[in-house]
Amino acid sequence: MTSSRTSPGTIDLGHQGFGAMRLRENDSSDPDRDPFRVIGAALDAGVRMIDTADAYQNEDLVGRAIAPHRDDVVLASKFGLVWHDDVTGNFDIRADAEYVRQACEASLRRLRTDRIDLYYLHHRSETIPIEETVGAMADLIAAGNIGAIGLSNVTAEDLRRAHAVHPVAALQEQWSLSERSIENTLAQTAAALGITVVAHSPTSHGALHGSTSDEREDDPRQAALREIAAAHDASVGQIALAWVHSRGPSFGGDVVPLPGTTRVGHARANVAAASINLAPTELARLSDTWSTNA
């Protein structure tokens, strides 16, 4: 693997990232659930980018898990989403320049590193102009604290305004067969500006792995996934993930899917999905059936 230290705006995120949001310390004796092994397995399988956030409250764990591999990892974190009481409750958005500096300093400490390779604003602010936030992030690049700027949960207008202040390397938004709002305008704007889309929750928080009990046998969307999966000797979740990989070429931009898991076996299976080549007819069938509610 090559070094992650590239110039701002042109960071190499690899073909597929690893989302660490759900990783927690655990005392399970099951090696498949060991968070250190999970991250190690993803990296061994070829993942470069490990994604966390201060709001996930696991930067300390992620920092320790990537430490032995630090030079081979593109470390991504986020700031700005501040929980009120607990991680499932309401949140505030902090995006003022002073907060950006404080949040980065705290994340660097927890992550035990001197640089976050890709640093995201986690969610747009209704009160702080994006220019102020991105200006402060540009200062962090100049100081060597972060390598590149990312934005998440923003509008196309935010993206344009931010990119005019400093090149934005990545846009992180949800993108899956069942969540395609990004295809309305954001994906096109990102492609036009040369910004890589990091597609989070590419299996819709796991729903597309097909383990839900409310699936109907005659649902054409599930039938498409099942039949295409059988043809490729793959799981339905792997096919859903392979479909997200296909969206880059469809939109003329770069798309890096960001699945997350807490299991070693699932980490390997998700990386393997990136090598599945779906035929144009299969892609069209998936796109068509999943564009309507069954």
Ligand X SMILES: NC(=O)c1ccc[n+]([C@@H]2O[C@H](COP(=O)([O-])OP(=O)(O)OC[C@H]3O[C@@H](n4cnc5c(N)ncnc54)[C@H](OP(=O)(O)O)[C@@H]3O)[C@@H](O)[C@H]2O)c1
Cα–Cα distance between 259 and 17 in angstroms, integer?
7
Distance of CA 235 to the CA centre of its chain: 21
Query: Which span (95-103, 158-166, 264-272, 277-285) binds ligand X, by CB under 6 A?
Result: 264-272
Which is closer to ligand X, CB of 113 or CB of 201?
Answer: 201
Torsion of CA 203, 282, 285, 155, to 10 degrees: 50
Cα–Cα distance between 224 and 233 in angstroms, integer?
14
Radius of gyration (C-alpha) of the chain in whole angstroms: 19
Which is closer to ligand X, CB of 84 or CB of 143?
Answer: 84
19 binds ligand X (CB under 6 A): yes
Instruction: Write down the least CB distance from residue 47 to ligand X, Å.
Output: 12
Q: Locate all alpha helices (DSSP H) within the chain, ordered by sequence.
A: 35-44, 59-66, 97-111, 130-142, 156-165, 186-193, 220-231, 236-251, 264-273, 280-289
Pick from 4, 77, 145, 203: which binds ligand X (CB under 6 A)? Answer: 203
DSSP letters spanning 201-269: STTTTTGGGS--TT--TT-HHHHHHHHHHHHTT--HHHHHHHHHHHHHHHHTS-EEEE-B-S-HHHHHH
Instruction: Write down the least CB distance from residue 35 to ligand X, Å.
Output: 10
Containing 83, the helix (H) or strand (E) segment is: strand 81-83
Which is closer to ligand X, CB of 222 or CB of 261?
Answer: 261
Pick from 13, 259, 274, 285: which binds ligand X (CB under 6 A)? Answer: 259
Residue of 56, 99, 119, 120 marked active site: 56
56 classed as catalytic: yes
63 binds ligand X (CB under 6 A): no
Alpha-carbon distances, residue 13 vs 37, 75, 214, 269 (angstroms): 21, 9, 36, 19
73 binds ligand X (CB under 6 A): no
What's the DSSP call for residue 75? E
Kindly determine how many residues on this chain lie close enough to bind ligand X according to the rule CB under 6 A: 26
152 binds ligand X (CB under 6 A): yes
Closest CA to 266 of 33, 14, 64: 33
206 binds ligand X (CB under 6 A): yes
16 binds ligand X (CB under 6 A): no
Pick from 20, 41, 73, 256: which binds ligand X (CB under 6 A)? Answer: 20
Instruction: Write down the least CB distance from residue 199 to ligand X, Å.
Output: 9
Which is closer to ligand X, CB of 142 or CB of 266?
Answer: 266
Identify whether the C-beta of residue 51 lies closer than 8 Å to the C-beta of residue 76.
Answer: yes
270 binds ligand X (CB under 6 A): yes
Cα–Cα distance between 76 and 118 in angstroms, integer?
5
Query: Which span (87-95, 134-142, 261-269, 282-290) binds ligand X, by CB under 6 A?
Result: 261-269
Show the site string, 100-139: x = touches ligand X by CB under 6 A, - = not: ----------------------------------------
Give the binding site for ligand X (CB under 6 A).
19-22, 51, 152-153, 172, 200-206, 209, 237, 258-263, 266, 269-270
Annotated active-site positions, please?
Answer: 56
